[in-house]
Amino acid sequence: MHIAQLRDFCLSKKGVTEHFPFDNVTLVFKVMNKIFVLLRIDKWEQGAQCVNLKCDPEKAEELREFYEGVQPGWHSNKKHWNTVTLNSKDISQNLAVALINHSYDMVVKGLTKKTQVILKDL
């Protein structure tokens, strides 16, 4: 997956915005102001096409055991976040899309009911 494809895919989701809240190289995608994708553009350009994605804790453990390209979240809560190397030989584009969707869904699920209603109406 190219970075432009990742960006377009994330921005196509309801309520998603992009930000550089930490510095000028750490790009985050938020749904209703909550992060669901985080990546370092400088590292991406150097070949480390990694993204941090929110994940159900049990599923996160299973993914880490099964896929070499899935590791505990770098600089994140390792219980709830995975770092996924998208250009790893065992991470297909379909899997990458599914994991991004799961991250988005996990964040939406954690939003207040009021915010979820606002998101549905967008």
Domain boundaries, the chain: 3-120
Question: What is the full DSSP assignment across 64-93?
Answer: HHH-TTEEEPTTS-TTTEEEEETTSTT--H
Model pLDDT for residues 74-96, shown as the tens digit of each residue: 878 788 999 999 999 999 999 99
- Measured between its terminal Cα atoms, the distance across the chain in Å is 27
Residues with pLDDT less than 70, the chain:
none
| pTM score | 0.94
By C-alpha distance, which of 93, 103, 102, 41 is closest to 69? 93
Other beta carbons within 10 angstroms of residue 24's beta carbon come to 8
Pick the CATH number of 3-120 from 3.40.50.1580, 3.90.1150.30, 3.40.50.1100, 3.90.1110.10: 3.90.1150.30
